[in-house]
Amino acid sequence: MSASQPHTLGDVVVTMAGVGKWYGDFKVLKDVNLDVRRGERIVICGPSGSGKSTLIRCLNRLEEHNEGRIVVDGIELRHGMRDIDKVRREVGMVFQSFNLFPHLTVLENCILAPMKVRGTARAEAERTARLYLERVHIPEQAGKYPGQLSGGQQQRVAIARSLCMNPRIMLFDEPTSALDPEMVKEVLDVMVELAESGMTMLCVTHEMGFARKVADRVIFMDRGEIVEAETPDVFFDRPASERTRAFLGQIL
Ligand code: ADP
Ligand code: MG
């Protein structure tokens, strides 16, 4: 049985319909169809090179798709679009490598975008930043520089920094893959708390304990396709596809 708490999902906030993408003549995404509802938690797994990063990067337009439609929070992502900043404000992203600014303190990392992009006053931005540093359990690190923190702490800062923009959707791309094993749990715990707070989340991760605990749906990608998209119960206990079974056999 899944430990995931039943919770109510809202309207569709992300639509991918017939999405295709090429890198040169290599087709990296093939006919991807996915609707994500508000409050939904999606875990995406699959072999290296299957297109997981590309899929989520298309959602905040770090990559452009070539075919089909993507709509994020009511805004259709299209070539030459003007309101890309609006989409990026609503969609937070946490990467495998924490991508913190090394020359800025933790607090300064957290207030930079709210002040520059949202135009928030410094005092207010700092108040919000301290709140989120509290939420990721490192309020005492506010004055330190990233290089003075452990990898797990840096990743929690990266999560807090994203949350400071008050995003409606959070994307995670293998957020624990670069961490030493003993630091994985402290980051996953923060992600579980975020999921339980109702955040809409798409997480690329191979942490299957996390998937069982919080995912509403687990998606398996292989060679640019969504092969399976199921509740954790079905996904882990009776996956339909042979490819999914083979993958699970390797990682579980
Ligand atoms: P995953 O995250 O599942 O490992 P990616 O989305 O990163 O997969 O990559 C899927 C495929 O696309 C891989 O074969 C990768 O080498 C290729 N690829 C990724 N980014 C680029 C790029 N910018 N240019 C060309 N090929 C790329
Ligand atoms: Mg990747």
> From ligand 2's centre to the CA of 62, what distance in Å?
13
For the residues 2-7, what does the mean pLDDT come to? 60
The helix (H) or strand (E) run that includes residue 18 is strand 12-23
pLDDT above 70 covers a percentage of the chain that reads 98
Helices (H), the chain: 52-59, 84-90, 106-116, 122-135, 151-163, 181-196, 208-214, 232-237, 242-251
Residue nearest to atom 25 of ligand 1 (CA): 23
Look at residues 112, 193, 113, 106 and name the one whose alpha carbon lies nearest to residue 150.
Answer: 106
Which tens digit of pLDDT belongs to each residue from 10-60? 899 999 999 999 999 999 999 999 999 999 999 999 999 999 999 999 999
Residue nearest to atom 5 of ligand 1 (CA): 51
Residue nearest to atom 22 of ligand 1 (CA): 23
Q: Is the CB of 101 under 6 A from ligand 1?
A: no
Top mutation candidate among 19, 23, 26, 251 for ligand 1, by most atoms within 8 Å of CB: 23
Mean pLDDT of the chain: 95
Give the number of residues written for the chain.
252
Q: Is the CB of 53 under 6 A from ligand 1?
A: yes
CB-side neighbour CA atoms (13 Å) of 110: 35
pTM: 0.96
Confidence of residue 1 (pLDDT cuts 50, 70, 90): very low
70 has a pLDDT exceeding 50? yes
Which tens digit of pLDDT belongs to each residue from 207-250? 999 999 999 999 999 999 999 999 999 999 999 999 999 999 99
Which tens digit of pLDDT belongs to each residue from 19-33? 999 999 999 999 999
The ipTM estimated for the assembled molecules is 0.97
Which tens digit of pLDDT belongs to each residue from 158-185? 999 999 999 999 999 999 999 999 999 9
Contact 200, 36 (CB under 8 A): yes
